[in-house]
Amino acid sequence: MNLPHFDISKNSSAQERNSTEAKAVTSPRRHMHFGIFTVGDITVDPATGKPPSEHQRIKNTVEMAVAAEQAGLDFFATGEHHNPPFAPSSPTTLLANIAAKTSTLLLSTATTLITTNDPVRLAEDYAYLQHIADGRLDLMMGRGNTGPVYPWFGKDIRKGIQLAVENYDLLRRLWAETNVDWGGEFRTPLTDFTSMPRPLDGVAPFVWHASIRSPQIAEQTAYYGDGFFHNNIFWPVDHVKKMTDLYRSRYEYYGHGPAEEAIVGLGGQIFMADTEAGARRKYEPIFRNTYVYQGASMDEMIQYTPLAVGTPDQVVEKYVKYRDIIGDYQRQAFVLDMGGLSHAEVMHQIELLGTRVVPVLRAELDKERPANVPDAPMHPRHLAMITGAEPPAEEPFALADDYDPLTGRRAQ
């Protein structure tokens, strides 16, 4: 296995990598964050034989996020796709709209395409969104699962891992430093460049790295001490454990702390009704309609993957077991709306998740949580908002005396 080369020694790793960055803090309000994510597919509703319009799908997504906050969930995340039949090609636009309609909900991506987006554009767009949302933002980096997207943006899919590594390294530098000089393989060099606006209160958005099967991404995540999100909705638990164990061991290797203190998130997919038989009957046509399940049986997917179809109690029973297998973790994200499920049913599922599943899961998973296991990361301003504490003092941006006020570059 050829892992990407990180030019740093074990002994000097964590302290040097973190020295220029303020950090997200963990929340006493929520040891673990529960929320929902969407891939934004525009799919035929098997009950009506018709798909929603693009306009309605986008509006429905905003309503889902608002309902998630009202149901007591911690976060909402949107995917990024640039191909039919998916709507969410502009996560920042969607999340900014949701930020204006919510007050405590953490906004996230699932995922941000670190391979095909320009790191300069990412640094600017998400720092701007971070200010709009008062710190209620983090990101999940990923390579995406659609091969044709690479040439659409002038990239080579055969260099996907290298793109992910180089682009993310640059993104971190842009958030941590001003007047950056940089050169790499995949974009033009930067000379004396400062991305604007700067991260809110000097704290960049917390970053998760999403991967299903790439050990190189687990390695990259551990190197930086970021969060590792295994979006395991189609994968058996033994594979999930192998990937999270790899990340945890490398997190410790790079000097960030013991393996059990690594930041882990998991995906999940659920459908609930009053009885198991009723849930299976209602969900069967949705399962058959979901593009990723073609050729699989629903019984097999329920048995071997995180798919849970049954009562709220059965969902709780299934998801409690993930902690027993992979250890304590910080984020659990559920997808509810894939496969053409009607918007009314999606809203009902959010209500059940918030009232009958998450409170029980939270109590069960926090009950035996060791004191040294970190809480879910949050921006200090977000944390102050939900705890009633004094927010960080705002510091206006200012250039040093020897910088040109028109360009931000060093005076020659």
Mean pLDDT per segment of 10 residues, for the chain of length 412 residues? Answer: 37 43 48 95 95 97 98 96 90 98 97 92 98 97 77 84 92 96 96 95 96 88 96 86 97 97 96 98 94 84 95 97 95 96 98 98 92 94 93 82 77 68
Distance of CA 63 to the CA centre of its chain: 19
Q: What is the pLDDT of residue 296?
A: 84
How far apart CA 249 and CA 151 sit, in angstroms, is 35
Tokens standing for 207?
A: 């970053």
Q: Which of 18, 121, 32, 22 lies closest to 375, judged by CA?
A: 32
- Which of 112, 30, 42 lies closest to 74, judged by CA? 30
Burial of 202 (0-12, 13-18, 19+ CB in 10 A): middle
b (16+ CB within 10 A) / e for 4-43: eebeeeeeebbeebeeebbebbbbeebbbbbbbbbbbbbb
Helix (H, G, I), strand (E, B) or coil at 330: coil
End-to-end alpha carbon distance in the chain: 47
**Cβ-contact 191, 181 below 8 angstroms:** yes
Check residue 6 and give its pLDDT.
39
Q: Are strands 138-142 and 180-182 parallel, antiparallel or unpaired?
A: unpaired
Query: What pLDDT is attached to residue 211?
Result: 86
What is the structure's pLDDT at 13? 43
| Measured distance CA(344)–CA(60) in Å, rounded | 10
Three-state DSSP class for residue 329? coil
Phi-psi region of 385 (alpha: psi -120 to 50; beta: other; left: phi over 0): alpha
pLDDT at position 314: 98
How many other β-carbons are positioned within 10 Å of the β-carbon of residue 187? 16
- Which residue(s) pair with 216 in the sheet? none
Distance of alpha carbon 121 from alpha carbon 127, whole angstroms = 10
The pLDDT of residue 27: 44
Q: What is the pTM of this model?
A: 0.90
* Residue 198 DSSP symbol: P
Q: How far apart are CA 218 and CA 307, in angstroms?
A: 23
Q: What is the pLDDT of residues 361-390, one digit of tens each?
A: 999 998 889 999 999 999 999 999 999 999
For residue 161, the model assigns a pLDDT of: 87
Residue 143 is predicted with a pLDDT of 80
pLDDT at 23: 54
pLDDT of residue 353: 98
Mean pLDDT of all residues belonging to the chain: 89
DSSP symbol at 259 = G
pLDDT tens digits along 134-169: 999 999 998 876 678 878 888 888 888 899 889 999
Query: Which structural domains are found in the chain, ordered by start?
Result: 21-387 (3.20.20.30)
Nearest of 293, 278, 272, 230 to residue 43 by alpha carbon: 293
Residues 6+ apart with CB under 8 A from 38: 61, 64, 77, 78, 79, 88, 110, 335, 337, 338
For residues 25 and 377, the answer to whether their CB atoms sit within 8 Å is yes
pLDDT at 26: 44
C-alpha distances (whole Å) from 392 to each of 64, 295, 381, 395 are 31, 53, 6, 9
Determine the pLDDT at residue 153. Answer: 82
pLDDT of residue 154: 85
Segment (H or E) for 311:
none
Q: Quote the percentage of the chain above a pLDDT of 70.
A: 91
